[in-house]
Amino acid sequence: MLRTFSPKQIIYAKMVYSYNVFMSSNEKSTPTEAEPRELIREETSDLLELYKLENPSREDVKTLLEQHYARFGRVGFNSEVDNATIDNFYTYFTEKPHEYLAAELHFIQELLANDLNVVVEQGFTRSQALLPKQEYQAPQAVFLINGKRTDAKVLGNGQFGINLQNLFNKVYPGEGRTYDIKKAYDIVLNNCAHEGTHILEEQVEHTEKGKVNWAIRGAFSEGLATFSEKSFHFLWSDDYTKDSLTTLEIIKKLNPEITDAEKKEVITHICNMESLQKHRSHEIERTRLLLEKDNITLEDFERVMDDLLVHQNGPLYYAGYSVWRKIYETEGINKVREIVLKGPKAFSEYM
């Protein structure tokens, strides 16, 4: 049965309805797991001492990070204990209000004290449903803290991290109020579905090797991962989805041999997208300055494309999502799996 959406989410419900109906059916496809391992790895508890230090010094932070690194071989999303990492943590724990940090500590402790295996497994089930049948190394969710940097990302070795500090920020309405633990579970499920899809899809040997540009490859991968999610939780998700047709037309033009005239045409289209004007207005104003140049280097052009189309789960994610949704709604889940197996070239034929 489709989950109940709040009024604010009802427009999203229409977009994910048919996929959720499939996920509640008996047709779920669970690939064979090559080497079973724990669904979850926790790399957080030792760093919770930082929350208990009333006024931590930079040396306090460095010492705890070094002990953590000695145990896990990384800090956060594969960082080393260098000055940038120390500064990131020191700034976080000295600039955040005490009440905020106390609430965040309580949130992390409550979340980790509960059995998250069910939520994580539900996310992985959504990922697995989209993939062709073969043997896979199962994903593993790593719960960690990383300062206010990135919600979740692939770490390598079949693992992905979920940043509990960013997660708390998304479910804490502010001083004097309590956090929404149910919303946190929903976001964890989406993180697991999204990042789990990346990890599984990377293990697929595509059968069609035709060349496509970097943006089509991105729409194939990020769109599939976004399609695996149960619901959207970003403020811009609906607006970017509405602009999907425009985004797809832009994506198809992003080839290395693009001319200066074509670059300016693409930049103009991007700057006129209502969704980006609403959610990335400052970046749009900076991008308009490129139109005043006689020649736009490929490096500057690709930097702008990455920033406006990809960064912060940008329009490229939802353009790719719209293609996968169309494939599923018109031809069914087996066609989705078939296109995943064939690869980005076959996907591009549906754009």
Which pLDDT tens digits describe the chain residue by residue (351 residues)?
323 333 333 333 333 434 444 554 434 444 444 456 799 999 999 999 999 998 999 999 999 999 999 999 999 999 999 999 999 999 999 999 999 999 999 999 999 999 999 999 999 999 999 999 999 999 999 999 997 778 999 999 999 999 999 999 999 998 778 999 999 999 999 999 999 999 999 999 999 988 999 999 999 999 999 999 999 888 899 999 999 999 999 999 998 889 999 999 999 999 999 999 999 999 999 999 989 888 899 999 999 999 999 998 999 999 999 999 999 999 999 999 999 999 999 999 999
CA 25 to the chain's CA centroid: 26
Give CA–CA dist 15/91, Å, rounded: 40
**pLDDT given at position 11:** 32
**pLDDT given at position 175:** 76
Strand partners of residue 159: 140, 156
Residues 6+ apart with CB under 8 A from 15: 232, 241, 325
Task: Supply φ then ψ for residue 246, to 5 degrees.
Answer: -65, -45
**pLDDT given at position 316:** 98
**pLDDT given at position 294:** 86
